[in-house]
Structure 1
Amino acid sequence: MSSSDRAALELQISSDVRALTAESEQIGRTFAGQNNLGGNDFQALLHVMVAESAGAPLTAGELRKLLGTSGAAVTYLVERMIASGHLRRDADPADRRKVILRYDEHGLQVARKFFTPLARLTGEALAELPDADLEAAHRVFAALTGAMAQFRATAD
């Protein structure tokens, strides 16, 4: 592959990521609207889910940094999300002095009800692709996520 072909492919991947991000943001807005959540509420739920999936649950302080809000604002947001049944506080099993945020059962049920059809459609869309393509896509997404995290860390 020539360097110009490689550059064109990288530009196409960047365009695809922007399109995926735009679709994801629209889906997030729809979920938030259907569940009486604000934009920051949905972003908070997304950060909590990503952190839990990575095996590194968030504290309210870590969530505050990710959202770029004040301590008072994140406290209000967390209290609202707990009152609505979307989140709960748990003691960190590794350090009982630390409190982490987790999805509450109601929040999981709401998310499952909304996102299960998307999971089904995603499975159908990927069904015809060979495992090797999915493994390559995973490596590409991991590389892109790493680059974005590195950029974010330097841009803060």
Structure 2
Amino acid sequence: MTDELPDSQGLQTVHQLRALTVDLDLLAAAFARRNRLHPTDLRALIALLDAARSGTPATPGLLGRELRLNSAGTTAVVDRLERLGHVRRTRDPDDRRRVLLEVTEQAMTLGQSFFGPLIADAVALVNDLSPAELATVQGFLTSMRALVARHHTAGPPGP
């Protein structure tokens, strides 16, 4: 570790990334509030949608790991989302002992109505990048996620 401050461009970029994160968190909080969701409920829906997109079976165990919740906390989230009609529990057709979680069409429509315009604009912005610019952005985002995960795993620094 060095005592030197990051260069001004690097620090400015970090501040822009932080500002974007805050803006997106505020937008997500507004959506959650408007739809009587806890912020964790929204994170759960996103995790379930990501699992579906990747073809990964979404189980309560997977959701708990993604949200870093114990089984009681995960059950509470799933119960809330099920009561609101956003998630349904089904039995795995290959293993009837296993419960699968699925985001309902109602929840997808609700999310699309709120976030759809932003997503469409973001996709258009990305589509305007050159292949080299896109590779740079994707590389940066991948590296940042790995960096954040590493710091999260390490925990706070000692005394």
1:60–1:129 Cα change, 3 Å: same
Kindly state the Cα deviation for residue 89 of structure 1 after the two structures are TM-superposed: 2.5
Kindly state the Cα deviation for residue 96 of structure 1 after the two structures are TM-superposed: 5.1
TM-score by length of 1: 0.77
C-alpha distance in 2 between matches for 1:76 and 1:20: 30
C-alpha distance in 1 between matches for 2:98 and 2:150: 26
C-alpha distance in 1 between matches for 2:104 and 2:68: 23
Kindly state the Cα deviation for residue 109 of structure 1 after the two structures are TM-superposed: 1.0
Gaps of 5+ in 1: none
Gaps of 5+ in 2: none
Q: Does 1:151 align with 2:144?
A: no
Match of 2:17 in 1: 17
C-alpha distance in 1 between matches for 2:136 and 2:30: 31
Count of residues paired in the alignment: 152
**Percent identity between the two aligned chains:** 29
1:143–1:64 Cα change, 3 Å: same
Match of 2:76 in 1: 76
Q: Render the CA deviation track for 1:95-152: whole Å, top value 9, x for unaligned.
A: 5543232311111111111111112322344454323212210111111112222332
TM-score by length of 2: 0.76
Q: Render the CA deviation track for 1:33-76: whole Å, top value 9, x for unaligned.
A: 22111222112222223333444344223333443444323212
What CA RMSD, in Å, does the superposition of the two structures yield over aligned residues? Answer: 2.8
C-alpha distance in 1 between matches for 2:139 and 2:93: 31
